[in-house]
């Protein structure tokens, strides 16, 4: 795990220097300096991302892959170099294995419709875990409903740790795909994806990894993980919204039929027959989010230059500090206490509903997420309808944890009987 | 609008000691209000006789604003003709939409919820008990029109 390596080497980062790159962090909310602790919902963007998008529209804007004029050539080059940057970031063997999507959700839906759907039969199974985000539940449910397949769910324990033995027990010859989240957005749990992939591989089960919460915090090496599909969202990793990607093994992409039809994904069209483009363009129908991809490349540059291990070490420091502080609260229960966690702390506080906590801390400038975090089954497992969640990013300071904890005390005092 | 106006004493009191809270086995009408996003899930149970609400209770789990709104609404509902409810909900929505709106006589204590209007993310909480009530009264309302 990157976090282990980070802890060993203890690289440090210049938080104040990093903060200077994020203009939004200068603003105030309700007259107080913004303390942004809702990073698992979406991170903020550094200037280099904002400027890359701005520069593209001011200077380069043209459609990609279809013009001989200079702007189109430049736009195509920049768009394709974003693909190359992403392939390097994931240690993918080839940029041909990177399909740009709107985000993780679309990437999962693409796999559901183009990889699993053509081969699944009634009685076949799709295996997921109890801690999945709705994005890695609902597409499979829809597919199961349409095809007569069955959705199987591997259990978690009281700490929010996946029961890998039980997961193994649920793998069988009917399992057409295993979908697993790398880092849980609601609980923080980091799943042992490498180990899970090895187990699945022995049974010939393809594995899809929802990496949306992992890419901003961990070193991702899709070859070392041994998965078949890896999905990510740009906006969770300092990039723009509306851009994400699916990494898939080339052999899968070659064999998969296109999902959406249109321009860009074709080679030749007549009314009698259409031949499709090569991968990955075969899966990129229509004009893509060009500026988004270029912005995402700038976000990758930000992460790589800052150093993912330094980022992780800093965030783990914040997580541990926040966890310590929260443990001092009477009536507070942390939901998700795995040993291996991303920088997320989810909790419930006796006598104070998450919604009220969210509103009150907001008035002290603190942005946290409250609710079910798009993981209702995980919430149901812990018997709670909603939690409050603080999630950290590279630009958060230790003092911000103090502001949050003080605001939480105010909320507790205000709401106490 | 300050936080203290939202979490004023009256709202906090209703949150901590909600009125008409608990099961109502004799209910003739039931409606459910769910705001899954924030985790509110309440049930409104009513006894309606001859077009009048004679008993009203709510149950479930919810935030302070929803609970206070439900608590006040249950108190308000008892003794009301069902035909008045939809009209009163319209008046309540208008009250929250305009912080300068004068108190509406029909709404009684529910006027105290006006500050919620200044918190757009929380307005839905104040409306949820009304929506559950209207769902419960659905058959009555369609009969009366």
| A193 Cβ contact partners less than 8 Å away, ≥ 6 residues apart | A180, A182, A207, A209, A225, A227
pLDDT of residue A319: 98
Cα(B35)–Cα(A372) distance, integer angstroms: 10
Shortest CA distance from A415: residue in chain B? B12
DSSP 3-state of B30: strand
ipTM for this model: 0.88
Chain A partners within 8 Å of B38 (Cβ): 354-355, 370-371, 386
pLDDT of residue A2: 43
Q: What does A359-385 look like in DSSP terms, one character per residue?
A: HHHHTTTEE-EEE-TT-HHHHHHTT-S
Instruction: Please check the confidence at residue A350 and state whether its pLDDT lies above 80.
Output: yes
pLDDT of residue B125: 95
Shortest CA distance from B125: residue in chain A? A355
Average pLDDT (A255-283) is: 91
Domains of chain A with bracketed CATH: 5-42+307-415 (3.90.1150.10), 50-304 (3.40.640.10)
A312: tokens are 């992780």
The shortest CB-CB distance from B36 to any of A353, A370, A372 is to A372
Would you state the torsion angle of the CA atoms of residues B43, B48, B52, B56, taken in this order, to the nearest 10 degrees?
Answer: -30
Chain A partners within 8 Å of B60 (Cβ): none
Shortest CA distance from A351: residue in chain B? B16
pLDDT of residue A225: 98
Cα(A122)–Cα(B117) distance, integer angstroms: 51
Q: What does A36-80 look like in DSSP terms, one character per residue?
A: E-BTTT-----HHHHHHHHHIIIII---SSS--SHHHHHHHHHHH
Average pLDDT (A284-311) is: 97
Chain A interface disruption, residue of B39, B122, B125, most A CBs within 10 A:
B39
Q: Is B63–A353 a contact, with Cβ atoms under 8 angstroms apart?
A: yes
How many contacts does A have with B, using Cβ atoms within 8 A?
A: 54
The pairing of beta strand A125-129 with beta strand A150-154: parallel
C-alpha B54 chain-centroid distance: 16
Instruction: Please check the confidence at residue A7 and state whether its pLDDT lies above 50.
Output: no
Instruction: Please check the confidence at residue B1 and state whether its pLDDT lies above 50.
Output: yes
Instruction: Please check the confidence at residue A117 and state whether its pLDDT lies above 90.
Output: yes
pLDDT of residue B143: 64
pLDDT of residue A69: 94
Span A65-91, pLDDT tens digits: 878 899 999 999 999 999 999 999 999
Cα(A169)–Cα(A163) distance, integer angstroms: 10
- Tell me the percentage of chain B whose pLDDT exceeds 90: 83
Instruction: Please check the confidence at residue A1 and state whether its pLDDT lies above 80.
Output: no
pLDDT of residue A18: 98
The shortest CB-CB distance from B36 to any of A353, A376, A414 is to A376
Q: Name the more confident of A389 and B38.
A: A389
Does residue A227 carry a catalytic annotation? no
Instruction: Please check the confidence at residue A313 and state whether its pLDDT lies above 70.
Output: yes
pLDDT of residue A311: 98
pLDDT band of A223, cuts 50, 70, 90: very high
Q: Is B62–A353 a contact, with Cβ atoms under 8 angstroms apart?
A: yes
The contact set of B with A (CB < 8 A) is 2-3, 6-7, 12, 15-16, 36-41, 61-65, 119, 121-122, 125
Average pLDDT (A6-28) is: 84
Quick one: chain B helix, strand, coil %, rounded to 5?
55, 20, 25
pLDDT band of A144, cuts 50, 70, 90: very high
A122 burial type by CB count under 10 A (0-12 exposed, 13-18 middle, 19+ buried): exposed
Q: Is B38–A371 a contact, with Cβ atoms under 8 angstroms apart?
A: yes
pLDDT of residue A12: 83
Domains of chain B with bracketed CATH: 3-144 (3.90.1010.10)
pLDDT of residue A387: 95
Instruction: Please check the confidence at residue A5 and state whether its pLDDT lies above 70.
Output: no
Chain B interface disruption, residue of A138, A347, A353, A376, most B CBs within 10 A:
A353
pLDDT band of B36, cuts 50, 70, 90: confident
Cα–Cα distances in angstroms (integers) from residue A354 to residues A188, A369, A385, A415, B134, in the given order: 18, 9, 9, 11, 26
Q: Do you find a cis peptide bond into A280, omega within 30 degrees of 0?
A: yes
Chain A interface disruption, residue of B12, B14, B42, B64, most A CBs within 10 A:
B64
Instruction: Please check the confidence at residue B44 and state whether its pLDDT lies above 70.
Output: yes
What value does the mean pLDDT of chain A take? Answer: 95
| A343 Cβ contact partners less than 8 Å away, ≥ 6 residues apart | A39, A188, A217, A315, A316, A318, A319, A391, A392, A393
Instruction: Please check the confidence at residue B144 and state whether its pLDDT lies above 90.
Output: no
φ/ψ (deg, to 5) at B66: -65, -45
Span A31-46, pLDDT tens digits: 999 999 999 999 999 9
Q: Is A363 on the interface with B (CB under 8 A)?
A: yes
Q: Is A70 on the interface with B (CB under 8 A)?
A: no
Q: Helices (H), strands (E): how many in chain B?
A: 5, 3
Q: Is A355–B38 a contact, with Cβ atoms under 8 angstroms apart?
A: yes
pLDDT band of A358, cuts 50, 70, 90: very high
Average pLDDT (A126-142) is: 97
Span B3-22, pLDDT tens digits: 888 998 889 999 999 999 99
The shortest CB-CB distance from A385 to any of B12, B16, B41 is to B41
Q: Is A360–B122 a contact, with Cβ atoms under 8 angstroms apart?
A: no
Q: Is B16–A353 a contact, with Cβ atoms under 8 angstroms apart?
A: no
Q: Is B3–A355 a contact, with Cβ atoms under 8 angstroms apart?
A: no
Chain B partners within 8 Å of A371 (Cβ): 37-39
Average pLDDT (A153-168) is: 98
Shortest CA distance from A361: residue in chain B? B3
**In this structure, are residues A187 and A161 in contact, taking their beta carbons and an 8 Å threshold?**
no
The shortest CB-CB distance from B63 to any of A356, A414, A417 is to A356
pLDDT of residue A8: 45
Q: Is B36–A417 a contact, with Cβ atoms under 8 angstroms apart?
A: no
- Tell me the percentage of chain A whose pLDDT exceeds 70: 97
The pairing of beta strand A175-181 with beta strand A207-210: parallel
Cα(A365)–Cα(A346) distance, integer angstroms: 19
């Amino acid at each position: 795990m990157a976090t282990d390596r980070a802890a060993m080497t203890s690289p440090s980062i210049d938080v104040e220097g990093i903060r200077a790159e994020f203009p939004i962090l200068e603003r105030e909310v309700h007259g107080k300096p913004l303390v942004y602790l809702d990073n698992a919902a979406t991170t903020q963007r550094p200037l280099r991302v904002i400027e890359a998008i701005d520069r593209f529209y001011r200077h380069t804007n043209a459609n990609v892959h279809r013009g001989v004029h200079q702007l189109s050539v430049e736009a195509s080059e920049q768009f394709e170099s974003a693909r190359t940057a992403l392939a390097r970031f994931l240690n993918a063997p080839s940029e041909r294995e990177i399909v740009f999507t709107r985000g993780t959700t679309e990437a999962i839906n693409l796999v559901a419709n183009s990889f699993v759907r053509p081969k699944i039969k009634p009685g076949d199974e799709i295996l997921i875990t109890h801690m999945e985000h709705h994005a890695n539940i609902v597409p499979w449910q829809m597919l199961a409903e349409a095809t007569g397949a069955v959705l199987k769910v591997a259990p978690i324990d009281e700490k929010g740790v996946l029961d890998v033995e039980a997961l193994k027990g649920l793998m069988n010859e009917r399992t057409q795909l295993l979908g697993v989240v790398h880092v849980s957005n609601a609980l923080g749990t980091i799943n042992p994806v490498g180990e899970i992939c090895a187990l699945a591989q022995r049974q010939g089960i393809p594995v899809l990894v929802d990496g949306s919460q992992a890419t901003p915090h961990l070193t991702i090496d899709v070859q070392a993980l041994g998965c078949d599909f890896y999905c990510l969202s740009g906006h969770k990793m300092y990039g723009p919204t509306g851009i994400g990607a699916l990494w898939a093994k080339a052999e899968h992409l070659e064999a998969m039929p296109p999902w959406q039809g249109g321009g860009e994904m074709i080679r030749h069209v007549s009314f009698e027959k259409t031949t499709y483009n090569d991968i990955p363009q075969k899966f990129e129908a229509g004009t893509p989010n060009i500026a988004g991809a270029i912005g995402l490349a700038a976000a990758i540059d930000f992460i790589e230059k800052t150093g993912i291990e330094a980022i992780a070490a800093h965030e783990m420091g914040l997580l541990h500090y926040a966890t310590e502080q929260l443990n001092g609260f009477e009536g507070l229960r942390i939901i998700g206490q795995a040993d291996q966690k991303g920088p997320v702390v989810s909790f419930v506080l006796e006598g104070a509903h998450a919604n009220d906590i969210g509103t009150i801390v907001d008035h002290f400038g603190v942005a946290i997420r409250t609710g079910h975090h798009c993981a209702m089954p995980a919430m149901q497992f812990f018997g709670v309808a909603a939690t409050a969640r603080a999630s950290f990013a590279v630009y958060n300071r230790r003092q911000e944890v103090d502001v949050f904890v003080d605001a939480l005390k105010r909320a507790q005092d205000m709401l106490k009987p | 609008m300050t936080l203290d106006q939202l979490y004023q004493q009256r709202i906090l009191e209703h949150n901590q000691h909600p009125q008409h809270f608990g099961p109502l086995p004799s209910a003739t009408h039931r409606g459910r209000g769910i705001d899954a996003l924030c985790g509110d899930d309440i049930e409104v149970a009513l006894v309606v006789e001859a077009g009048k609400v004679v008993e009203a209770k709510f149950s479930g789990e919810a935030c302070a604003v929803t609970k206070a709104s439900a608590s006040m609404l249950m108190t308000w509902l008892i003794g009301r003709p069902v035909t008045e409810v939809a009209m009163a909900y319209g008046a309540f929505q208008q009250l929250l939409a305009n912080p300068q709106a004068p108190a509406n006589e029909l709404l009684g204590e529910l006027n105290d919820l006006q500050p919620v209007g200044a918190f757009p993310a929380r307005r839905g909480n104040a409306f949820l008990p009304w929506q559950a009530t209207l769902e419960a009264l659905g058959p009555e309302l369609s009969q009366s029109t």
